[in-house]
Chain A
Amino acid sequence: MKGMNNQLGPIVLSISLILAFFTGCGERYPQGKALYEAQCAWCHMSDGTGLEGIYPSLVDREDLRQQLWRIPCAIRYGVYDSLRVGDDTFSLVMMGFPELTDAEVSNISNYIALSFLKLQEGPYNERAVVEMLKRCRSREDTFRLLKSKLQSQ
C-alpha cells in the first residue's frame, strides 16, 4: 500500500498542474472574463454558444472576425438588427451597456476574441476601441428611445 502512495504522488501533482493550466491561471483577460460572466453569459452562455434562434452564438463567427468593431459597438450601444417597424417587443434585441468604461469594453472584447473567435492575440486596446465606437454612435438614439419606452411600460 505504501508503494502505491509513492506512485500516486507525481500523478496527482501533474494532474493538478494540468488542471491549473487549463483553468483560471492561463486566463489572459481575467477582468474581461469576469464581466462577460456577469453581464453577457446570461444570454450568450458561458461557452458563447447562445440560444439558437433567440440569442446569437459568438463562437467562431467569421463576420465578427472580419468586422472587429461590431463587438465593442454591441457592448456600448446594443444591437437592434431584429427590431421591426411597429414592433413593440424588445425581447429579441440587445440593449447596450453604456456604464462599462472603454477599458472594460476592450477587456470583454479581447476575452471574446481569444475564447470564442480563437484569435491568438487580443486585437482591442482602449485607443482602438474608442475609434471603433465612432462607427456606431448613431445606435445611441435607438438605445435611448428603447430604454425610455421600456421604463414607461
Chain B
Amino acid sequence: MRVLYRLVLFISVTVLMACQFSKTEPLPYLGPHRQVGDSTVYYRVDSFAFFNQDSQLVTAESLRGKVYVVDFFFISCPTICPVMTKHMKELYNLYKSDPRVVLLSFTLDPRHDTIPRLKRYAHKLGVSAPKWNFLYGKKEDIYATAPKFLISAAQEDDTDPLTIIHSGKFVLVDGEGHLRSYCDGTSKEEVYRLAEDIDRLLDEMTNEGHE
C-alpha cells in the first residue's frame, strides 16, 4: 500500500505541475516564421477589407488590438455551417460583454448572401455587429482571403450547384494579426478548448498592458 500512496502522490504532483506549466506557456504562433537578425518575424494576416451586415467596412487594420475568431460559411449551406454557427453563437454569448473579442463569418456565397440578407440572418439569430460581423465582398476576394488564415481554400463543387465544399475550421487571431490557434468548428469540445485559448490571449493582452 505504501508504494501505491507514493505512486498516487507522484502522479498528482506531476499532473499539478503539468497544469501550471500549460497555463503559463504562451500560445504558439502558427504559420511560417522568418528570422531577421536576432528576432523572429511571425506570419500575420496583413490585409483584407470587407463590408459587414451593417455596410461598415471591416479591415485587418480596424481589428488591430482585437482578438478575433474567423470562419467561412454561407446561409443556405445544407451541411456543416449550422452547427458551426451554433458554436459561434456560444462564443458570442461567452464574450458578449468583452469588446476585445470579435467574431468574423465570411460568406462564401455573396451572390445570394447579400448585405440585406446577412443583416436579416444576423437579426433572426439574435446577434449583431460590431461583436459578430457577417462579411460580404467580391467572391474572388473572399476565396483569396481563406488561405490568408491558412484555411484550405474553399472551392465550389462543379457537379452540384448547391454545394460548396469548404473548411469547417475556426481560426483564432491575436491583436497583431498573428494566427494563434484553430479548431474544428463542428466539434463542441474543440470550440470550448478554443475559448480557453481566447482567455489565454486576453490574459496575454492584459499582462502586456501592465508592462
Interface positions of A (Cβ within 8 A of B): 1, 4, 42-43, 45, 51-55, 89-92, 150-151, 153
Bound CA–CA A101/B162 (angstroms) = 23
- B residues near A4, Cβ cutoff 8 Å: 4
Q: Given A89-B112, A153-B161, does the pair A52, B82 have CB atoms closer than 8 Å?
A: no
Query: Taking CB as reference atom, which chain A residue is nearest B126?
Result: A53
**Once the chains bind, are B82 and A153 in contact (CB under 8 Å)?**
no
The 8 closest A-B pairs by CB, nearest first: A53-B124, A91-B75, A91-B76, A53-B125, A51-B86, A43-B82, A51-B82, A42-B79
- A residues near B79, Cβ cutoff 8 Å: 42
**Once the chains bind, are B161 and A1 in contact (CB under 8 Å)?**
no
**At the interface, yes or no: B80 with Cβ under 8 Å from chain A?**
yes
**At the interface, yes or no: B83 with Cβ under 8 Å from chain A?**
yes
**Once the chains bind, are A51 and B125 in contact (CB under 8 Å)?**
yes
Query: Taking CB as reference atom, which chain B residue is nearest A52?
Result: B126
Instruction: Name the distance in Å between A148's Cβ and chain B's nearest Cβ.
Output: 12
Find residues 44-97 in chain B having any chain A CB closer than 8 Å to their own CB. 75-76, 78-80, 82-83, 85-86, 89
In this complex, the interface size class of chain B, counting residues with CB under 8 Å from chain A, is: 20 to 34
Interface positions of B (Cβ within 8 A of A): 3-4, 75-76, 78-80, 82-83, 85-86, 89, 112, 117, 120-121, 124-126, 161-162
Bound CA–CA A53/B78 (angstroms) = 16
- A residues near B124, Cβ cutoff 8 Å: 53-54, 92
Task: Tell me which of B75, B89, B125, B162 contacts A150 (CB under 8 A).
Answer: B162
**Once the chains bind, are A54 and B121 in contact (CB under 8 Å)?**
yes
SS class of chain A's interface: helix, strand, loop or mixed?
A: loop
**Once the chains bind, are A89 and B125 in contact (CB under 8 Å)?**
no
Beyond known contacts A51-B89, A91-B117: 4 more, CB 8 A cutoff: A51-B86, A53-B126, A89-B76, A90-B76
Q: Given A42-B78, A89-B117, A153-B112, does the pair A54, B85 have CB atoms closer than 8 Å?
A: yes
Instruction: Name the distance in Å between B179's Cβ and chain A's nearest Cβ.
Output: 27
- B residues near A90, Cβ cutoff 8 Å: 76
Query: Taking CB as reference atom, which chain A residue is nearest B7?
Result: A1
23 A-B contacts (beta carbon < 8 Å): A4-B4, A42-B82, A43-B82, A45-B83, A45-B86, A51-B125, A52-B89, A52-B125, A53-B124, A53-B125, A53-B126, A54-B85, A54-B121, A54-B124, A54-B125, A89-B75, A89-B112, A89-B120, A91-B76, A91-B112, A92-B124, A151-B161, A151-B162
Bound CA–CA A45/B124 (angstroms) = 18
Query: Taking CB as reference atom, which chain A residue is nearest B111?
Result: A153
- A residues near B76, Cβ cutoff 8 Å: 89-91
